[in-house]
Amino acid sequence: MGPKPVILDVDPGHDDAVAIMMACGSPGLDLLAVTTVAGNATLPKTTRNALRVLSLVGRTDVPVGAGASEPLERSLRTAEDIHGESGMDGPRIPEAAFEPDERGAVELIADTLKESPEPVALIPVGPLTNVAAFLRAHPELKGRISRISLMGGSMGLGNTTPAAEFNVYVDPEAAREVFESGLPVTMSGLDVTHQAGAGRAERDRLRGIGGVGEVVAGFLDFFAGTYERVFGFDAPPLHDPVAVAAVLEPGLLRTRLMNVEVECESDLTRGETVCDLHGVTGRPPNAEVGVGLDREAFFDLLHDSLKRL
């Protein structure tokens, strides 16, 4: 079997940057396109950051489509308190060597799916606005999507409110549409991404690669500082690369099939992913939800992918 075709939907973001690099350095994946969404920072910043990361690793052949600048129904909330003013503070990397694709995110996804000889996995690791907008605009192309492997949600506590994880909190209506789409969905929520914390040992190992590894370690050093200040620990979770790993090596992620509903009405629990672990509601399952991660194998996979860049 050849590499799996994928599209990344990102809002860089330090862990988004690492997810892009991981996808580029993995021979098991064929990165067909990258789309950007407002989330960790505003859309101009996330688009600039995606272009810069791809330029850094020499992948200017990957088209980048700018997508939604705000959620479907709500005002945008960003996370500069975590990722810095640029959305990707830390080591300075060169400006982009190419421009965004003129088609924009939705049409870039549509054209990429049409042109691919086989179904494509979508890996959205920011708010799900672009994916929901695509499903609204092109329902006839749903069959061209092999799986949606998303980073977002939680079976337990949130990281933006007590109940909600950031990506789902920013655009819960979009998340609800994705979970209700009928497509195969793999959810890498905080329960598993917090098992991918990059402590000092992991950052030093990445630094030892040199080149791109040093950049990634520098990003994570900055990320560690904000995580220690905001959350009280200095091993920042590599949230978004877990969703990439779930496509690249599905065995790394232990999942349970269950029903996931997204709370959109309550101010108190906006964006909560209500995961029916024990099937008590009787609602049909709609997602494979991550419940465990092979941490050692994950970091080996990340190390090996970055070493190839």
| Terminal-residue alpha carbon distance, the chain | 22
- Provide the pLDDT for residue 234: 84
Q: Read off the pLDDT band of 233 (50, 70, 90).
A: confident
**Edge-first strand listing for the sheet containing 64-66:** 64-66, 29-36, 4-10, 120-124, 145-151, 185-188, 287-293, 253-262, 273-276
pLDDT at 105: 98
Res. 117: pLDDT tops 90 = yes
**pTM recorded for the entire structure:** 0.98
Helix (H) or strand (E) holding 289: strand 287-293
Q: Domains in the chain, ordered, with CATH? A: 4-307 (3.90.245.10)
The alpha-carbon radius of gyration of the chain (Å, integer) is 17
What's the mean pLDDT in 261-277?
97
Average pLDDT over residues 234-260: 97
d(CA 32, CA 235): 31
- Averaged pLDDT for residues 229-250: 94
Q: Express each pLDDT in 83-110 by its tens digit.
A: 999 999 999 999 999 999 999 999 999 9
Q: Which of these, 17, 135, 164, lies nearest to 72 by C-alpha position?
A: 135
Question: How many Å apart are CA 292 and CA 164, to the nearest integer?
Answer: 19
pLDDT of residue 15: 97
Residue 65 is predicted with a pLDDT of 98
Q: Which amino acid is at 171?
A: D
Taking only the tens place, the pLDDT of each residue in 273-285 is 999 999 999 999 9
pLDDT of residue 86: 96
| Dist CA 103 CA 66 (whole Å) | 8
Mean per-residue pLDDT of the chain: 97
Q: Which amino acid is at 151?
A: M
The two most distant CA atoms of the chain are separated, in Å, by 52
Annotated catalytic residue within 194, 239, 278, 303: 239
> Tens digit of pLDDT for each residue in 119-176?
999 999 999 999 999 999 999 999 999 999 999 999 999 999 999 999 999 999 999 9
- Annotated catalytic residue 138: no
Rounded CA-CA distance 288/191 in Å is 13
Tens digits of per-residue pLDDT, 15-45? Answer: 999 999 999 999 999 999 999 999 999 999 9
Question: Which residue is associated with the tokens 């993995």?
Answer: 26
pLDDT tens-digit profile of 53-87?
999 999 999 999 999 999 999 999 999 999 999 99
Closest-CA residue to 163 (of 271, 291, 259, 275)? 271
Can you give the pLDDT at residue 267? 93
